[in-house]
Amino acid sequence: MDSPPSQTLTEIDQKPIVTPTDTRQLNLRHRTVDFSNPPRGRRAPSHVNTPTQSAIPDITRSMESSRAKTQEQTHLATEVILESIFRDATFFSAREEDSLENPATIEEALNGEEGDQWKKAIDEEMATLKNMGTWELADLPEGRKPIGCKWVFVKKRDEKGKLIKYKARLVAQGFSQKPGVDFSNDGTFAPVMRFKTLRTFLAFAASMKWDIKQFDVKGAYLHGLLQELIFMDQPRGFDDGSGRVCKLIRTIYGLRQAGNVWNRELNAAMKEIGFIQLKSDPCCYIRRQGEDFEILLVWVDDIISIASNSTRNDIVEQDLGEKFEIKALGRPKMLLGMGINQNPIDNSIKLFQTAYIDSLLKKHGLEDANPVSTPLDPNTKLDLDPNESSDPETQGEISERVSTGYATLIGSLMYLAIGTRPDIAYSVQRLAQFTQNPKPAHWTAVKRIFRYLKGTRTLGITYGGSNELNNQELNIYCDADWASDADRKSISGYVLTLAGGAVAWSSKKQSTIALSTAEAEYVAATHCAKQVIWHQSLLNEAGMPLPSTSTIFSDNQAAISIAHHPEHHARTKHINIAHHFLRDLVQNGTLDLVYINTQDNLADIFTKGLPRTLHQDLTYEIGIL
What order of strands is seen across the sheet that includes strand 245-248? 135-138, 245-248, 231-232
What sign results for the dihedral spanned by CA atoms 417, 418, 420, 426? positive
Provide the CATH number for the domain around residue 500: 3.30.420.10
The pLDDT-based confidence of 27 (bands split at 50, 70, 90) is: very low
* pLDDT tens-digit series, residues 476-497: 999 999 998 888 999 999 999 9
Domain count, the chain: 3
Contact criterion met (CB below 8 Å) for 13 and 526: no
Q: What pLDDT is stored for residue 157 in this prediction?
A: 86
Average pLDDT over residues 228-238: 94
Domain for residue 462, yes or no? no
Domain for residue 368, yes or no? yes
Integer distance in angstroms from the first to the last C-alpha of the chain?
27
Average pLDDT over residues 92-98: 40
Selected residue with higher pLDDT from 63 and 584: 584
Residues 359 and 432 in one domain: yes
Q: What pLDDT is stored for residue 94 in this prediction?
A: 33
The pLDDT-based confidence of 52 (bands split at 50, 70, 90) is: very low
Contact criterion met (CB below 8 Å) for 340 and 334: yes
Q: Please state, in angstroms and rounded to a whole number, the distance separating the CA atoms of residues 538 and 609.
A: 32
Domain for residue 343, yes or no? no
DSSP state of 242: S
Nearest to 216 by CA among 291, 289, 303: 303
DSSP per residue, 397-410: HHHHHHHHHHHHHH
Selected residue with higher pLDDT from 13 and 580: 580
Q: What pLDDT is stored for residue 90 in this prediction?
A: 41
Average pLDDT over residues 528-536: 96
Residues 148 and 204 in one domain: yes
* pLDDT tens-digit series, residues 591-611: 999 999 999 999 999 999 999
> Buried (b) or exposed (e) across 97-130, using 16+ Cβ within 10 A?
beeeebbeebeebeeeebeebbbebbeebbebbe
Q: Please state, in angstroms and rounded to a whole number, the distance separating the CA atoms of residues 225 and 231.
A: 14
Residues 441 and 472 in one domain: no
Domain for residue 50, yes or no? no
Q: Please state, in angstroms and rounded to a whole number, the distance separating the CA atoms of residues 77 and 84.
A: 11
Domain for residue 4, yes or no? no
Residues 235 and 318 in one domain: yes
Residues 103 and 142 in one domain: yes
Average pLDDT over residues 88-111: 64
Domain for residue 554, yes or no? yes
The pLDDT-based confidence of 399 (bands split at 50, 70, 90) is: low
The pLDDT-based confidence of 384 (bands split at 50, 70, 90) is: confident
Average pLDDT over residues 549-577: 83
Q: Which of 430, 455, 480 is the last residue of a domain?
A: 455
Q: Which of 332, 362, 379 is the last residue of a domain?
A: 332
Q: Which domain holds residue 549?
A: 23-45+468-621
Residues in the chain: 625
Q: What pLDDT is stored for residue 578 in this prediction?
A: 75
* pLDDT tens-digit series, residues 312-363: 999 999 999 999 999 999 999 999 999 999 998 999 999 999 999 999 999 8
Residues 563 and 598 in one domain: yes
Q: What pLDDT is stored for residue 541 in this prediction?
A: 95
Domain for residue 52, yes or no? no
Q: Please state, in angstroms and rounded to a whole number, the distance separating the CA atoms of residues 108 and 101.
A: 11
Phi, psi of 334 (to 5 degrees): -145, 130
582, amino acid identity = L
Residues 82 and 190 in one domain: no
The answer to whether residue 373 scores a pLDDT higher than 90 is: yes
The pLDDT-based confidence of 60 (bands split at 50, 70, 90) is: very low
Q: What pLDDT is stored for residue 43 in this prediction?
A: 73
Residues 431 and 412 in one domain: yes
Q: Please state, in angstroms and rounded to a whole number, the distance separating the CA atoms of residues 282 and 294.
A: 16
Residues 75 and 107 in one domain: no
Domain for residue 3, yes or no? no
Residues 203 and 296 in one domain: yes
Residues 241 and 139 in one domain: yes
Nearest to 557 by CA among 35, 22, 8, 21: 8
Q: Which of 432, 455, 478 is the last residue of a domain?
A: 455
Residues 474 and 579 in one domain: yes
Nearest to 357 by CA among 161, 183, 89, 525: 161
